[in-house]
Amino acid sequence: MRFELKDRDGLARRCELTTPHGKLETPALLPVVNPNLSEVSPAALRDEFGFRAVITNAYIIRRSEGLAERALKEGVHRLLGFDGPIMTDSGTFQMRMYRDAEVTNAEIVSFQLAAGSDIATPLDLFTEPGEPLGKAESDWAETLGRYLEALALPNPKGALLALTVQGGSHLAVRRRAAGDLSALPAAVHPIGGVVPIMEGERYSLLADVIATAKAALPRGRPVHLFGAGHPLVIPLAVWLGCDLFDSSSYAKYAHDGRLLYPDGTRALADLEENPCPCPVCARHTPADLRALPPPERYLALARHNLHVLSAEMRKARQAIREGSVFELVESRARANPRLLEAVRRVALHADLLEEVEPASRTRALRYFDATSGVLPTVELARRRLLERAPLGEGEEAVLVAARGTPFSKRLPQGLAKLRRDAHVPLFFETLFGPVPEALEEVYPFAQHIAPQTLDAESASRVARATESYARRWPQGRLRRFEEAELGALRGAFRAPPLTQSARALAQVEATLAYQFGAGAASLLRGRAATIERSPRTGKVRTVWLDGRHVLSLRAHDGLFSLTFEGGGLLAKAVPAPRHRVAVVDDTAPFNAQGKNVFAPFVKSCDPDLRPGDEALVADEAGAIVAVGRMRLAPGEISSFGSGVAVDVRQGARSRRVPP
């Protein structure tokens, strides 16, 4: 199975899944096509609405004599008039409804494979959320046996199999199921049995179920949230790393006279004004729609629902590109209190999010209230400040509340005046803890927007972060700024203000320590440093040591990009395996020429690296052959069988000039 990660925002990811009928960009939603009556044809779903893949029901096709024959003779693609990827469902749900036991697992899977399905689904057992543990366990044992049977069937066209995680509301069974599936060959992994959970608006349980499955499944396999087709929950599921969705909701809701919206569902009967910008709603008022004959009205509502779903998937993919997935989740959560509860619940799954949390984002972090603290960036920055931004023995600094960025340009007047005459080291009290002035340009300190007055829970977190910092570095002293104490401060800080170049050097040292950890700043030691600043903004841009360009400070996140020379110096300053990605000797020469590191050729990797971190690419003997940025997280590299793991910037023999 070929599944490659192209772009990501934490667990949310844009990937490319290769199927026998072409590549599918994920996250993707597959509209359910009824083989008997498709009012909106599969070709229209693609051409008019932009859906690149569809799902249909093999059980219904097989039951209907004419369709079954054609599917076997011509294939399911000609049957539906659709040449893109087609997933087929086994009819677990229908068989349950009709209590039909006439089809065996082997028969329905063989039928799907013979009909040329791209993603075929075995007949699993579905555990309802209310059913007891014993039932969930025995259902799973039976289901796993059926998957083994399906995997043994001849599959000459190379269809992917959809092996579903079941377990009802029993997270331990879900975890075991996902673990069992990890041991099977790579497949698409639906998370099943969630429709009743979503219909009951039990979104916290939904978040638990998704996070539990994701944590136990190999990271490099596509995950499908089976039956999820409401735009309200799609951002939450994408944020938690779901790649595929399917929806019969567009048709079901249309039959009931209901319209899907990103913030919920509305009945046509209740609408006076319709704010939807889709072509259907732009042309027809709700009264027009109500006046249509039922078949036409159904079609109009189905088309509205499809437009909304299609827009939702575009929105999700764009949010991944721009690093705003969590913002989308938060805004959606404000439409439904239970969804908000689910978002906050995800704090219990912090480990899952943290292992893929990017080192920085191109977009500023929007912090609204304590809910925004669920995003791991907040806690990771707090921990890093605590460990990597020390207050040394006898050091004294003034702690002042951050009042917007840049912090040092928004000081109380008296303090600003004092600093014109004397060197007053500052720490800014922020959501992330006390930030030393030398780090004020680093992500997310300069790149976040928070209310001036925080909610009580966030304010108490700020206070706790400050306390734990003071406890961690008791040899130094942080004096909280108070206007009345200006006289005392004037007496305490008498040294002249730092020169611009001393400030720049302090920033370089502090940033190296914050970004690369203990010892990293020692790479400056004993070398003649030249720090080049932007002529326009005066900000640090490049660092030269002994006449060689070693570091570039990125304007958008205030962190360093390494040149190959810089990577060599860093490797001496921080011992292996820190910041290393070791590659096999066969491919190391290609990386040395500046080519990217592909996942299958990585031998080992520093487990503390995160997507977006700078990486030192080493050969098997430990020699640095290239520098670049992590695209995958360490835990993902071994499970993605293809695709780029590290975007190489410069190799030992690369001709490309680094940025």
CB of 281 to Zn ion, least distance (A): 3
- Region binding Zn ion by CB under 5 A among candidate stretches 303-311, 418-426, 488-496, 561-569: 303-311
- Region binding Zn ion by CB under 5 A among candidate stretches 235-243, 271-279, 371-379, 430-438: 271-279
Q: 215-230 in b/e burial notation, b at 16+ Cβ within 10 A?
A: bbbbbbbbbbbbbbbb
- Region binding Zn ion by CB under 5 A among candidate stretches 154-162, 191-199, 224-232, 277-285: 277-285
Closest-CA residue to 112 (of 52, 54, 64, 153): 153
Helix (H) or strand (E) holding 98: helix 92-98
Q: Nearer to Zn ion by C-beta: 198 or 281?
A: 281
Q: Nearer to Zn ion by C-beta: 278 or 582?
A: 278
Binder of Zn ion out of 217, 278, 328, 352 (CB under 5 A): 278
CB of 242 to Zn ion, least distance (A): 25
DSSP 447: S
By the rule CB under 5 A, 268 interacts with Zn ion: no
- Region binding Zn ion by CB under 5 A among candidate stretches 165-173, 179-187, 269-277, 643-651: 269-277
On the 0-12 / 13-18 / 19+ scale of CB atoms within 10 A, 589 is middle
Q: From residue 524 to residue 553, what is the string marking binding to Zn ion with x (rule CB under 5 A)? A: ------------------------------
**In this structure, what token pair is assigned to residue 576?**
């292996």
Is 89 marked active-site?
yes
Q: Nearer to Zn ion by C-beta: 49 or 564?
A: 49
Q: Of the residues 89, 124, 606, 613, which is catalytic? A: 89
Angle ∠(118,253,222) on CA atoms, nearest 5? 30
CB of 312 to Zn ion, least distance (A): 12
CB of 262 to Zn ion, least distance (A): 11
- Region binding Zn ion by CB under 5 A among candidate stretches 273-281, 344-352, 428-436, 588-596: 273-281
By the rule CB under 5 A, 520 interacts with Zn ion: no
Q: From residue 76 to residue 105, what is the string marking binding to Zn ion with x (rule CB under 5 A)? A: ------------------------------
Please give the Cα distance from 181 to 201 (Å, whole number).
Answer: 28
CB of 50 to Zn ion, least distance (A): 15
Q: How many residues does the chain have?
A: 659
Query: Could you count the other beta carbons within 10 Å of the beta carbon of residue 3?
Result: 22
Please give the Cα distance from 282 to 11 (Å, whole number).
Answer: 36
Binder of Zn ion out of 163, 181, 237, 276 (CB under 5 A): 276
Binder of Zn ion out of 304, 382, 384, 448 (CB under 5 A): 304
- Region binding Zn ion by CB under 5 A among candidate stretches 185-193, 297-305, 344-352, 359-367: 297-305
Q: Nearer to Zn ion by C-beta: 56 or 249?
A: 249
Please give the Cα distance from 354 to 366 (Å, whole number).
Answer: 18
Q: Nearer to Zn ion by C-beta: 283 or 338?
A: 283
Q: Nearer to Zn ion by C-beta: 39 or 351?
A: 39
CB of 305 to Zn ion, least distance (A): 8
Angle ∠(245,248,249) on CA atoms, nearest 5? 95
Q: Nearer to Zn ion by C-beta: 21 or 304?
A: 304
CA distances to 92, 131, 172, 338 from 169, in Å: 18, 8, 9, 17
Helix (H) or strand (E) holding 589: helix 588-592
Sign of CA dihedral 602, 603, 607, 608: negative
CB of 283 to Zn ion, least distance (A): 10
Contact by Cβ (8 Å): 27, 316: yes
Please give the Cα distance from 630 to 606 (Å, whole number).
Answer: 11
By the rule CB under 5 A, 281 interacts with Zn ion: yes
Q: Nearer to Zn ion by C-beta: 255 or 338?
A: 255
Q: Give CB contacts under 8 A, 24+ apart, made by 131-140.
A: 131/168, 133/170, 133/172, 133/173, 135/168, 136/166, 136/167, 136/168, 136/170, 136/173, 137/170, 137/173, 139/166, 139/168, 140/166, 140/167, 140/173, 140/176, 140/177, 140/180
CB of 254 to Zn ion, least distance (A): 11
Give the interface with Zn ion as residue ranges (CB under 5 A). Answer: 276, 278, 280-281, 304
Catalytic residues: 89
